[in-house]
Amino acid sequence: MKVFCGRANPTTGAVEWLEEDENYDYHQEIARSCYADMLNDKDRNTKYFQGICAAVDRVKARGEKAVVLDIGTGTGLLSMMAVTAGADFCYAVEVFKPMAEAAVKIVAKNGLRDKIKIINKHSTEVTVGPDGDMQCRANILITELFDTELIGEGALPSYEHAHKYLVQEGCEAVPHRATVYAQLVESERMWSWNKLFPVCIQTEDGEKSIVSPPEMEGCPGAPSVYDIQLNQVPLKDFTALSDVVTMFSVDFSKQVSRAPSCFTVRLEPIRSGRAQVVLSWWDMDLDPEGSIKCTMAPYWVQTASKDPPWRDHWMQCVYFLPKEELVVRGQSVNLAAFRDDYSMWYKLQQVRSEEDKTEVHIESPVCQCQAHLLWNRPRFGELNDRTRTAQYIQALKEVLQPTSICLSVSDGSLLPIVACYLGAEQVFALESSAVSHSLMKKIFKANHLQDQIKIIEKHPDSILSSDLGDKKVSLLIGEPFFSTSLLPWHNLYFWYARTALSSHLTSSVTIFPQSASLHMVIVEFKDLWRIRSPCGTCEGFDVQIMDEMIKNSLDFRESREAEPHPLWEYPCKPLSDPLEVLTFDFREAVPERSIGKEGTVTLLRTGKSHGAVLWMEYNLTSSLSVSTGLVKVSDEKGYCQWTPHCKQAVYFFSTVSAPGTLVDCPSAVAYAISFSPKTGDVTMDFKLLS
């Protein structure tokens, strides 16, 4: 049996569906899962164990048998905790078949198979009765169905069904409740992830501006939350306009409703400012009294803890208000939190009188301008980066001539407008998707350039001379940026596009950027290594079967390749100097033969060599370049400083997932890196040297 999987193809700039082995999707799910991160979350595991022990004790104190329903059991860890705490029997539900099979083995290995039944179903399909999956309803409900947004993994529908059909009324629940908190802030940095700011350009004719279309200004944005490691955002990057407020709580021991809801809290602004963003997180009480608490609160809230527990499976939420609104200190406003089955969003509302009973309409925000469909949050930030934009403008000024026939090849780029403002004779913009075509048409119109920039909705290999007005391109420009790119080198699609367009270029064409290079540095991560680290024993239970399962999936085909991570969120220290490993000359066509390099990089600093980080740098001209990776080798804390707009490629060394292979005090790392023109892929291999 075969399955079809979508993969970015750097040679075509498209996501293509490839036929893969039936085990491919399963191995990807395991290899990229958060299981290792959760099992290594000591704070989470300890508090769950404490909460489970307390729940079992309460049931036993009533003279009842403790029957547990564990929804989303995963490895079976929480069920094993329950049995160890004295539960009489556990029904552990897991819908993912490979995980359910692993749970059976893990439970057996820990000698608990007689008291734990693994049910490989979705919880809403579980039946109760003499011939059912469960002999009787449970009186303890244990779940771990939560994501960063709390409800994004379908917790509410699962709880609603469980209370109706699977557990007793008044059951114990672990966790007992969850509470969502919010804080209203002003932040130009975060707002730049949601709106397009004006761009000012100095030209020979004076200052000109790039502005966004009206529909973008009033657009509520993307409906999805932006989940990030808020602990990596410095206090200087936002201003709190309110204290932290409690928005709502969910009591999991009682009937839960999935029906859309609205929760309103009256805010007293602590300072005046522009309300732009709501920062939000949650905590959970593992017992009714709230004495066992697990919180996702960021560092400025957890005053008692300078270094909050690190976890990647639960982070913090950034919600963008539909529009920027002024709030005044001392003048109350209402902050409304809306939710449906799987998501949440926020709005500011005027304080209404008691007599005003206007019905609140709960409608999820929908992007109306198309920008939020094409550009993700980091892309908005990239387009709003004034320093980066200034580099492109300066570089274009160096190469653009009044006679330039300019063609832009990038998804939703502002470079065609810059070229137009700087005086190019004619400008074409290649937009290969209907969405990017439609969006750029609106932006060009908002800047009164709809008659000066021609949009061509074609792939490069389909371009005809007539599309370009029977003219040859003398200046080919790109950032490059393509929305389908996942890894840094996927934007080398610009090179393939340039090659396909060769017949439409003048013999003296200027290519911008003229070249690119792949760079690398060996690093020690502060925490990110935990997502690939084996657990071995978790709270006294042997979970090595899970470790082996993850390792096998990582070793399955290309699962042992680099993976994208936004490293500004994940501190790491450089153990080597940065090194240029491959170069790509865009002035020439894509070669037929592979480009490769082998060598060793010396480790100059002591530390644990967790992996290699790779990124691209683009040489706009011979003297100007932009980086998609390392901005500064070491900050005041010794950590690398990364560009916040791009994901870097992280290749974890095998020593992270298999500590037994660790080389004592390695002095260097041998590497072999190769670029295949046929596939557009970069393959790599590393070996630690003593």
- Render pLDDT for 123-143 as a digit per residue (tens, 0 to 9): 999 999 999 999 999 999 999
**Half-sphere exposure of 324 toward its Cβ, with a 13 Å CA cutoff?**
15
- Per the CB < 8 A criterion, the answer to whether 102 and 546 are in contact is yes
User: For residue 350, what pLDDT is reported?
Assistant: 82
Q: How far is CA 77 from CA 93, 146, 217, in A?
A: 12, 16, 48
Q: What pLDDT shows up at residue 558?
A: 44
- pLDDT < 70 regions, the chain: 1-7, 15-34, 304-306, 353-361, 556-560, 658-664
Marked catalytic residue, from 144, 149, 431, 569: 144
User: What tokens does 456 get?
Assistant: 């061509």
Check residue 660 and give its pLDDT. 60
pLDDT at 590: 98
pLDDT, tens digit, for every residue of 336-373?
999 999 999 999 998 876 554 455 667 888 999 999 99
Whether 425 is catalytic is no
Helix residue ranges per DSSP H, 525-678: 544-554, 654-657
Q: Which of 20, 153, 160, 539 is the catalytic position?
A: 153
Q: Please state, in angstroms and as integers, the Cα–Cα distance from residue 556 to each residue in 21, 271, 520, 660, following that order.
A: 11, 54, 24, 20
Q: What is the pTM (predicted TM-score) of this model?
A: 0.94
Residue 551, token pair as written in the block: 């390792």
Helices H / strands E in the chain, number of each: 16, 38
CA angle, residues 239, 223, 74, in degrees to nearest 5 = 100
CA atoms 523, 526, 530, 531: torsion sign: negative
- Tens digits of per-residue pLDDT, 526-542? 999 999 899 999 999 99
**Position of tokens 């059912």?**
132
Side chain identity at residue 500, one-letter code: A
- What span, in angstroms and rounded, lies between the C-alpha atoms of 173 and 258? 18
Annotated active-site residue 144? The verdict is yes
| Ranges of H-type helices in 555-667 | 654-657
Measured CA to CA, the distance from residue 552 to residue 547 in angstroms comes to 9
Residues 173-209 have pLDDT tens digits of 999 999 999 999 999 999 999 999 999 999 998 999 9
Closest Cα to residue 592, out of 679, 513, 510? 679
The pLDDT assigned to 551 comes to 81
What single-letter DSSP state applies at residue 371?
Answer: H
DSSP class per residue in 76-94: THHHHHHHHTT-SEEEEE-
- Residue 222: per-residue pLDDT: 86
- What is the rounded distance in angstroms from the CA atom of residue 513 to the CA atom of residue 20? 36
